[in-house]
């Protein structure tokens, strides 16, 4: 990985510069709005995968595709109609599936396979999920081709970066150790840490009333290493500068692809939780982009 050169600090509240490879131009998205009174948008939900497992008490010889319920409830609570997206099969190709949705939510879940970004695993403990990677990357590319807005969560955030040409840390404790706990198996989504919204970034503009220092949940051991071309950082982990959020440049133009991704799990946050960065602006931004592309 190439060494980073320091440049003038672009963040509020950080005492050290933002690495040069983390700098991107900004774009403009509108702050949150409420579309509950309008016709429900059809929100595609990417699939999580479970493969045959003899230890499983049911369907143990079968591959299961599923959605985590918190994600579905978040979409429905915001006024969207969730549509589950299986792997294309038979007469139903990817074009047909994507044509049925107004926007896409990329779910979290399994690790990304290092081979998906041209690396080899540093440990047999983290082989990743190349089958799901192939599905996700094809879905991302098709949505970008068809100008379908994307909201990417945790693994979805990571695979979006990979699909656009970026790379990942396979394990933070080994490849980028710090004092920040990004994962605690016992606490799970109760594991929280501080993060910094990047002043002037489009992502920060989604949170005009929030402090530049915020708190997010954290359930990951992989993370973005090299940022893909075309992405703009919007949030960094406060003490170790791990990338926590980005947006795709040009998304303010309805004729260009829109994507926003976060490393945390907003679907696990209650709407009235005063301790964590609110999730509502994220879904509102997705809905606004979808509505803009309908007009």
Active site residue ranges: 154, 265, 267
Least Cα distance to 291 among 182, 160, 148 occurs for 148
Beta bridge partner(s), residue 187: none
Residues 196/13, Cβ–Cβ less than 8 Å: yes
**What is the distance, to the nearest Å, from the Cα of residue 173 to the centroid of all Cα atoms in its chain?**
21
Residues 260/203, Cβ–Cβ less than 8 Å: yes
Three-state secondary structure of 224-256:
ECCCCCCEEEEEEECCCCCEEEEEECCCCCCCC
Q: Which DSSP state fits 117? A: G
- Buried/exposed 38-55: b ≥16 CB within 10 Å, e otherwise: eebbebbbbbbbeeeeee
Query: How many residues comprise the chain?
Result: 295
Q: Which residues contact 168 (CB under 8 A, 6 or more apart)?
A: 112, 114, 117, 158, 161, 162, 222, 223, 224, 225
Residues 44/103, Cβ–Cβ less than 8 Å: yes
In terms of C-beta density within 10 A (0-12 exposed, 13-18 middle, 19 or more buried), how is residue 192 classed?
middle
Three-class DSSP category at 166: coil
């Amino acid at each position: 990985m190439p060494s980073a050169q320091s440049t003038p600090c672009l963040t509020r509240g950080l005492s050290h510069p933002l690495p040069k490879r983390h700098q991107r131009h900004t774009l403009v998205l509108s702050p949150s709005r409420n579309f509950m009174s309008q016709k429900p948008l059809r929100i595609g939900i990417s699939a999580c995968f479970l493969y045959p497992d003899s230890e499983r008490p049911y369907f143990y010889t079968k591959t299961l595709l599923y959605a985590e319920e918190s994600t579905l409830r978040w979409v429905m609570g915001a006024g969207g109609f969730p549509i589950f997206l299986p792997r294309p099969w038979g007469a139903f190709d990817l074009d047909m599936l994507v044509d049925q949705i107004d926007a896409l939510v990329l779910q979290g879940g399994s690790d990304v396979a290092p081979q998906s970004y041209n690396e080899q695993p540093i440990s047999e403990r983290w082989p990743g999920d190349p089958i799901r990677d192939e599905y996700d990357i094809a879905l991302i590319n098709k949505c970008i081709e068809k100008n379908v807005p994307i909201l990417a969560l945790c693994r979805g955030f990571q695979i979006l970066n990979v699909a656009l040409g970026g790379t990942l840390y396979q394990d933070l404790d080994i490849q980028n150790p710090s004092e920040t706990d990004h994962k605690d198996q016992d606490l799970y989504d109760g594991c929280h840490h501080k993060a910094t919204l990047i002043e002037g970034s489009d992502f920060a503009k989604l949170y005009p009333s929030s402090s530049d220092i915020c708190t997010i949940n954290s359930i990951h051991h992989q993370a973005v290493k090299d940022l893909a071309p075309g992405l703009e950082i919007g949030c960094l982990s406060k003490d170790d500068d791990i990338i926590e959020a980005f947006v795709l440049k040009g998304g303010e133009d309805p004729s260009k692809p829109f994507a926003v991704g976060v490393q945390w799990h907003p679907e696990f946050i209650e709407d009235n939780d005063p301790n964590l960065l609110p999730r509502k602006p994220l879904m509102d931004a997705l809905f606004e982009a979808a509505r803009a592309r309908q007009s």
